[in-house]
Amino acid sequence: MGFMAILTTQKSKSVAQVSEEKLIEIIVRSLGRACPPFPAGPGGDCAIIPLTEKAKFRVSTIDSVILGRHFDSSCSGSLAGMKLVERNLSDLAAAGAKPKDALLSLFIGPNVNLAWLKDFAQAVGRAASRAGMNINGGDVCRVQADQFSATLSVQGFSQRILTRTTCQAGDRLFVTGELGGSLLGHHCHFRARVAEGLWLAQQKSTTACTDLSDGMLKDLPGLIGKKWDAMVDTDRLPLRPAAQQMAKKDGRSALEHALQDGEDYELLFCVKAKDASSFAQKFQKQFPLTRLTEIGFIKKGKGLARSLKDKQPLLGKGFSHFA
């Protein structure tokens, strides 16, 4: 099958060819096993979800993908749908929560390709099922031509919540995976670190956690809070090969890409200093395929990320929606 664009000039291939009722039927069918039967699934004004979890905390998040912002017209429906689910799951992973239920809202222009939309919904269903999460219902709304966005509201559960700004002086700073160059493909080809996040929440030595969605230089200050500084050993940052590739093209260093690009969807977290060595060994035994790197430590300060080499603030900024 060749490339399928999200927008079409042919009405016979667009969502405009079907009624709202038929469109919802197609979407629900495409979501597959992720949609439970009514009343827990689509079919009424509300989804009625039994309270089966005995966890201590209920955790909620919401995130979107928007054509022209989070993906472009070269992105397949399958990749866009996967990204919608996984970026929500990454938030739950950072909280140490297990995903359970979700509501899906779609805002669809009349010239959106119906086949592309099917691929999108199928990918949402596959990613949700893989995570053990139900799509319980949602909303469909028509918007102007050439527009498409989707919003997923997810609920999960946890016995212990990982939070930001709860680190202490001396804590060691760790990151999973690799960083930088996400625009070369990673931003649409990733899996949220849900299993790792659940495991981190079970470890008493984990003191704080966040996911890297907007770039290290934006997310790290949010992790540590206003009264601590993070001393970062930039030589130890795990660079993604794509960061090196982008550096050759645009003249910015691979380090800048690792610190600022965003959409890494890795976990950045703090561990008590006395447990750091044994913690790293336990983590690698539990997740042998997940790269783990200790990149620095926490000290009293003003909420800054500083270079361990010269103690100066690391300059630059991450992604901002309104910059």
Give the model's pLDDT for residue 84: 98
Q: What angle do CA 236, 241, 247 make, to 5 degrees?
A: 90
Q: If you average pLDDT over residues 193-209, what whole number do you get?
A: 98
| Residue 2 pLDDT grade (very low, low, confident, very high; cuts 50, 70, 90) | low
AA identity, residue 306 = R
Q: Which two tokens stand for residue 127?
A: 């990613």
Q: Is residue 192 part of a domain?
A: yes
Identify whether 176 is part of a domain. yes
Query: Does 286 share its domain with 178?
Result: yes
pLDDT surpasses 60 at 215 = yes
pLDDT over threshold 60, residue 319: no
Q: Clarify whether residues 29 and 135 are in a common domain.
A: yes
Is 314 part of a structural domain of the chain? Answer: no
| 160 vs 96: CA distance, rounded Å | 7
Residue 177 lies in a domain: yes
**Stretch 239-268: mean pLDDT:** 96
On whether both 190 and 253 belong to a single domain, the answer is: yes
Q: How much of the chain exceeds pLDDT 90, in percent? A: 91
Which is more confidently placed, 74 or 86?
86
Residue 4 has pLDDT above 90, yes or no: no
- Please report the pLDDT score of residue 322 as a whole number: 40
Are 95 and 189 within one domain?
no
Residue 107 scores a pLDDT above 50? yes
Let me know the angle formed at the C-alpha of 240 by 200 and 295, rounded to the nearest 5 degrees: 50
The pLDDT of residue 62 is above 90: yes
33-38, long-range: CB within 8 Å, 24+ apart, which pairs? 33/125, 33/129, 34/124, 34/125, 34/126, 34/128, 34/129, 34/133, 34/134, 34/135, 35/125, 35/134, 35/135, 35/136, 36/134, 36/136
How many domains, in total, are found in the chain?
Answer: 2
- Same domain for 188 and 92, yes or no, is no
Range of the domain at 233: 172-307
Please write the tens of the pLDDT for every residue from 149-158.
Answer: 999 999 999 9
Residue 195 maps to which CATH number?
3.90.650.10
**Residue 54 has what pLDDT?**
82
Q: Which residue has the tokens 């670190």?
A: 193
Give the single-character DSSP code of 2: -
Per-residue pLDDT band at 318 (split at 50, 70, 90): low
Same structural domain, 229 and 280: yes
**Which residues pair with residue 190 across a beta bridge?**
none
Is 313 among the domain residues?
A: no
Average pLDDT, the chain: 95
Examine residue 74 and state whether it is found in any structural domain, yes or no. yes
First CA to last CA across the chain, in angstroms? Answer: 39
Residues 108 and 187 in one domain: no
Helix axes 77-95, 194-202, angle to 10 degrees: 0
Based on the domain organization, do 29 and 148 belong to the same domain?
yes
Note whether 276 and 224 are same-domain residues.
Answer: yes
Number of Cβ within 10 Å of residue 157's Cβ equals 18
Query: What percent of the chain shows pLDDT beyond 70?
Result: 97
301 shares its domain with 222 = yes
Residue 1 scores a pLDDT above 80: no
Q: Summarize the confidence of residues 123-142 as an average pLDDT.
A: 97
- pLDDT for position 186: 94
For the stretch 254-299, pLDDT in tens is: 999 999 999 999 999 999 999 999 999 999 999 999 999 999 999 9
Whether the per-residue pLDDT at 53 is higher than 90: the answer is no
If you average pLDDT over residues 158-180, what whole number do you get?
A: 97
Average pLDDT in the 57-79 region? 95
